[in-house]
Every structure is written in structure tokens, then in C-alpha cells.
Amino acid sequence: MRIGVLKESAPRERRVALTPDAAARLIKQGSSVAVERGAGAGAHYPDAAYEAAGCTLVDSAEAESADLVVAVRRPTAERAARLREGAVLVALSAGDPGEALAALNGRRVTVLALERVPRITRAQSMDVLSSQATVAGYRAVILGAEALPRFLPMLTTAAGSITPAKALVLGAGVAGLQAIATARRLGAMVTGFDVRAAAAEQVESLGARFLAPEAVAGDAETKGGYAKELAEEQQQKVLEAVAGAIGQADLVIATAAIPNRPAPRLITTAMVESMKPGSVIVDVSAETGGNCELTRPGETVHHADVTILGPLDLPAGMPQHASQMFGRNVQTLLDHLAPKGALTVDLDDEITGAMCLAHEGTLRHRGNG
């Protein structure tokens, strides 16, 4: 199997879909890997490293012509049109505008959407959502600490005592838990908040306090471990709980999300105005609209002496390790798709089936793509 690695073209996207290390593992299994020149530069993987790993460095056209093309984000329509007929494309395909997919399908390209890896134990090592959320949770705290006009840890000094910062983490999924851990490492007093009952123990297992919204827990979790969208009345309780806690917080990391839905609104303008001067909100959910009413995706908003960050490129901001993890996920997935280098797309397979958006000219999973 010949694998092509594309250089990303989206703005601020510094990741690469396959690192030299991951590529080397695939080559060992019998594949050949063609890497577009400069693909890893943004993530600090120089071309030389790919060469050393046994890849061939190629121009973009050649990378596009591989049997299987991997990229972090789905390539532009222009590049997609250059894919080989019957090729397989593995990439994130979020926010699918329909058209691009249709075009690919027209060329009978098999499209495997990385964000659709099912969250079963066996597929954990292929799950880019988890790995990139880990980066996002860590990085959100670093960005928050940078934006804060104060220390996170407690400090008793000759120039007076610095009280520890209070951090509030909304949503205790993968990113939220990582944020909790990172903020605690830096010495903040951390409170975690989630609607899923199982989150309480997980938050406490990191040494943080859990804030339980009244009368919501229990039925807020789907079978897959995700949160459901809440009924009006429940949503009200959640808002009350957040409102009660946010006034004390110096740093808020908002990571609440519901799959395939806009992010739940948890922080209203009034709540922002009740916060202490100088406090900071990092809205990790900005991409899906943000947990905060005032969030503007990709921008930094100042409101009532509160700073609201809406970063869109959290994992891409830490491209070296984000790519390392992404690449490892992709490599494990390819090992699964093509054991010993021979590619077969088996739609009955639990993982492949769930990921596949287009195959042999047929679109799949339209309803919840």
C-alpha cells in the first residue's frame, strides 16, 4: 500500500497527520509512505527526519496520487479533486459542507472520518478526538495562566501572601479532566463541573472538588458515555449552579460539549459581569459555538474586565506532540485497516463501518455526519 501524507493548508494548522516515527512503523509493516515536502515543518518534523524514517519526499501531486491519503483536515476541494479514483482518504471531516464530500464520492473515493472512530475500548488507540482533547485541555490551562494577571499557586513571600487562584472547569470529559489535572499541577484550587454523574468520581480522583448541578445527574448520560442535550428545566438548574460558582473563579476553562450539537451555553453575559476583575475564561468549545455567550471563536474578547479566549487552534498550537499523538492514532488505524500493508475496506467492521462517510460511490451516515 502506498500512503500519501499531505501538507496542511488551513491557516494556523501546524500539525501533520503522520510523524516520521509513525511512518516508520507503517513502513515496517510493508507500506510505502510518500510525504509532501515540508508537511512536517510546522510541527517541527523536518523533511530530513522523514527521509531518515524511510519515507520518500514528494511534491503535492504525487502525495495526492497515493492509494491511501492521510491528512489532518479534509483537503480543499481543489486538492480533493486531484485524488486518485478509488483511493481512500483518512482525515478529520468535521463541519462537512456536503459538497466537498459529494465531490469526493463522485470520484469513488472512500472517505474515512477520523472523528467518527467509535469510543469502544478496542479503538481507544485510534481515537484522535481523545488524543487531541488531551492536548486541548492542557493547553487551555497554559493559555489561561498566560492571560491571567495573577499567579495560580499560593505563595507566601516577604511581599505578602498570594492566595491560590480558583479554577472552575466546566465539562469533565477528556479535555476537562486534563485541564483539571494541569491547573492542579500549577497549584490552583480546582472545581470541576459536569452533568454526568460518573464525572464526580473522576474529578475527585484528580484531587479536585466536584460541583454537582442539582437534580440533573443520573439520566444526563448516553450509553456511549456522552452527555445528552438537557431539557429546559434542567438547563436552568445547570445555569444556576454555574452562576453560583463562577463569581469566585479566577480562571474558567469551559469544555462542555454534546456530540454533533452546538456547545451548551453555560456562561451568560450576566455571569461574566459578576466575575472578579482580571479573571479569564478559556472557552475550549469555541469551535462549536462556545459555552460562553460572549465567546467569539478565534478571538479574544474583553468584557467587564474579564478576558474571554475563544481559541480555535488549541491542539495545533502544540503541533509537535499533537502530531505525535495524531500520527500514532492514524498509524494504529491503518494497521487495523491494512494488516501487513494490504488495504481492505470492510464496512461490516465495527470501526471502519462507523468511520466511513463515502465508499464506492455511496454516501453513508448522512443523518449525523
Ligand X SMILES: NC(=O)c1ccc[n+]([C@@H]2O[C@H](COP(=O)([O-])OP(=O)(O)OC[C@H]3O[C@@H](n4cnc5c(N)ncnc54)[C@H](O)[C@@H]3O)[C@@H](O)[C@H]2O)c1
The yes or no reply on residue 149 touching its own copies (CB under 8 A) is yes
Give the angle subtended at the CA of 213 by the CAs of 252 and 296, to the nearest 5°: 35
Residue 202 known to be catalytic: no
> What's the distance, Cα to Cα, between the start and end of the chain in Å?
28
CA pair distance 66, 177, nearest whole angstrom: 39
Q: Which of 14, 127, 313, 324 is catalytic?
A: 127
CA pair distance 104, 61, nearest whole angstrom: 16
Q: Which is nearer to ligand X, 70 or 170 (CB)?
A: 170
Residue 45 known to be catalytic: no
**Helix H or strand E segment including 210:** strand 209-211
Q: How far is the CB of 229 from ligand X (least distance, A)?
A: 8
The yes or no reply on residue 148 touching its own copies (CB under 8 A) is yes
Ordered DSSP codes for 219-277: SSB-TTSPBPPPPHHHHHHHHHHHHHHHTT-SEEEE----TTSPPPP-B-HHHHHTSPT
Q: Which of 37, 82, 108, 119 is catalytic?
A: 119
The yes or no reply on residue 10 touching its own copies (CB under 8 A) is no
The yes or no reply on residue 7 touching its own copies (CB under 8 A) is no
The yes or no reply on residue 121 touching ligand NAP (CB under 6 A) is yes
Q: Which is nearer to its own copies, 133 or 254 (CB)?
A: 133
The yes or no reply on residue 160 touching its own copies (CB under 8 A) is yes
Q: How far is the CB of 155 from ligand X (least distance, A)?
A: 14
Q: Which of 59, 122, 124, 185 is catalytic?
A: 124
Cα 167 off chain centre by: 21
Residue 127 known to be catalytic: yes
The contacts of residue 217 (CB under 8 Å, 6+ apart) are 195, 196, 197, 200
Quick one: cell of 235?
438547563
Of 89-97, 206-214, 254-262, 317-325, which part binds its own copies (CB under 8 A)? 317-325
The answer to whether the beta carbons of residues 169 and 190 sit under 8 Å apart is yes
Q: Which is nearer to its own copies, 239 or 246 (CB)?
A: 246
226 binds, among its own copies, ligand X, other proteins, none (CB under 5 to 8 A by kind): ligand X
| Interaction site with ligand X (CB under 6 A) | 119-121, 124, 127, 129-130, 133, 170-176, 193-196, 199, 225-227, 230, 238, 255-259, 264, 266
Contacting residue, 234, 291, 324, 352, with its own copies by CB under 8 A: 324
Q: How many CA atoms lie within 13 A of 363 on its CB side?
A: 14
- Note the helical H segments in the chain: 20-28, 47-53, 60-64, 77-80, 99-106, 128-147, 174-185, 198-204, 232-246, 269-273, 319-337, 350-355
Burial status of residue 324 (CB atoms within 10 A of its CB: 0-12, 13-18, 19 or more): buried
Residue 138 known to be catalytic: no
Q: What phi and psi values does residue 100 have, to the nearest 5 degrees?
A: -55, -40
Q: How far is the CB of 42 from its own copies (least distance, A)?
A: 9
CA nearest to 108, candidates 337, 341, 365, 363: 363
The DSSP 8-state label assigned to residue 292 in this structure reads B
Q: Which is nearer to ligand NAP, 157 or 344 (CB)?
A: 157
2 binds, among other proteins, its own copies, ligand X, none (CB under 5 to 8 A by kind): none
Q: Which of 60, 93, 130, 285 is catalytic?
A: 130
Q: How far is the CB of 291 from ligand X (least distance, A)?
A: 8
CA pair distance 171, 316, nearest whole angstrom: 21
| Interaction site with other proteins (CB under 8 A) | 120-122, 124-125, 130-131, 134, 153-162, 164, 174, 177-178, 181, 184-185, 187, 189, 201-202, 204-207
Q: How far is the CB of 49 from its own copies (least distance, A)?
A: 8
Quick one: cell of 69?
491519503
Residue 130 known to be catalytic: yes
Binding residues for its own copies, rule: CB under 8 A, are 14, 43-46, 124-125, 127-128, 130-131, 134-135, 138, 142-143, 145-146, 148-151, 153, 155, 157-160, 162, 182, 185-187, 277-278, 305, 318-321, 324-326, 328-329
Give the interface with ligand NAP as residue ranges (CB under 6 A): 121, 124
Active site residues: 119, 124, 127, 130, 226
